[in-house]
């Protein structure tokens, strides 16, 4: 099986459609299909901040339902899910855009899209192990010793990365560079931390190229290990991108 793994979308629906078409997916019988029967894998954070989060939910839900795609959740997905099941979450850091879209719907439409997202989230694996354990897709990363496990500690790492609990000089949560010490054989494909170009490090690749911050939406084609990107239609916010010393 061949895969096209797509980075953090954050409501950038138009760029997602462009990317799927650029990779050869065709719209047929109300679903995107690839003539070579490739499968899409989403790294999570499909909603929040961008202009069309609900369309992203609808499309990802339909693709997963029709077994054309696999979805793993990101931290924004986790928070939206908790909001939808009535937990007391803070409506900020991008969630406010998705909530505003929901509030613009009539109650029936709102119920449908909320139900779709809840189903999507509840049936999603925390991360996915593919191609006979040669490929792992997870939102923020995973340590080699965590592969195959699903404890609370693993969940936190997969959703938020290797956080220290401290803030960096820009006031953002400090994240350790876990990829730097990864020595595993499986290729780990992840997102979560916006970088201006896909970042390869020790058999890991970060494909969150900050589409919602004016970067680009990137996919990794596997097993080819080639990336393809679509430029963002959003204004560029340079300060949102991180760089890593090698
Ligand atoms: Mn994230």
Angle between helices 152-160 and 75-84 (to 10 degrees): 110
Q: What pLDDT is attached to residue 71?
A: 98
Distance 121 CA to ligand 1 centre (A): 15
Please state, in angstroms and rounded to a whole number, the distance separating the CA atoms of residues 133 and 207: 20
Task: Give the distance (Å) from ligand 1 centre to CA of residue 28.
Answer: 31
User: What pLDDT score was predicted for residue 124?
Assistant: 98
Report CA(86)–ligand 1 centroid distance (Å).
21
Rounded to two decimals, the pTM is: 0.96
Q: Report residue 165's pLDDT band, with 50, 70 and 90 as the boundaries.
A: confident
Residue 168 confidence class, pLDDT cut points 50, 70, 90 = confident
Question: Quick check: 200 pLDDT over 90?
Answer: yes
pLDDT at 236 over 90: yes
| Ligand 1 centroid, distance to 42 Cα (angstroms) | 12
Distance (Å, whole) CA 21 – CA 44: 20
CA of 210 to the centre of ligand 1 (A): 11
Write down all domains in the chain, each with its CATH number in brackets.
3-234 (3.60.21.10)
pLDDT surpasses 90 at 235? yes
pLDDT at 54: 98
Output the CA 229–ligand 1 centroid distance in Å: 19
pLDDT score of 10? 98
Q: Look at residue 198 and tell me whether its pLDDT is greater than 80.
A: yes
């Amino acid at each position: 099986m061949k895969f096209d793994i797509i980075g953090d979308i954050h409501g950038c629906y138009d760029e997602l459609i462009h990317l799927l078409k650029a990779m050869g997916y065709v719209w047929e019988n109300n679903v995107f299909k690839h003539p070579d029967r490739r499968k899409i894998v989403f790294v999570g954070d499909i909603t929040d901040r961008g202009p069309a989060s609900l369309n992203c939910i609808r499309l990802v839900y339909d693709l997963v339902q029709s077994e054309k795609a696999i979805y793993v959740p990101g931290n924004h997905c986790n928070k939206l899910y908790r909001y939808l099941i009535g937990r007391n979450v803070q409506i900020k850091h991008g969630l406010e855009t998705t909530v505003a879209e929901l509030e613009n719907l009539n109650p029936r439409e709102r119920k449908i899209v909320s139900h779709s997202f809840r189903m999507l989230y509840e049936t999603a694996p925390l991360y996915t192990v593919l191609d006979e354990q040669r490929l792992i897709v997870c939102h923020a990363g995973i340590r080699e010793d965590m592969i195959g496990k699903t404890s609370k500690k693993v969940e936190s790492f997969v959703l938020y990365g290797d956080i220290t609990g401290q803030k960096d000089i820009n006031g953002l949560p400090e994240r350790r560079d876990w990829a730097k010490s990864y020595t595993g054989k499986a290729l780990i494909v992840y997102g979560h931390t916006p970088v201006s170009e896909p970042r390869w490090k020790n058999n890991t690749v970060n494909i969150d190229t900050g589409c919602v911050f004016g970067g680009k939406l990137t996919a990794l084609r596997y097993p080819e290990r080639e990336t393809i990107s679509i430029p963002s239609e959003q204004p560029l916010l340079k300060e949102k991108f991180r760089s890593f010393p090698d």
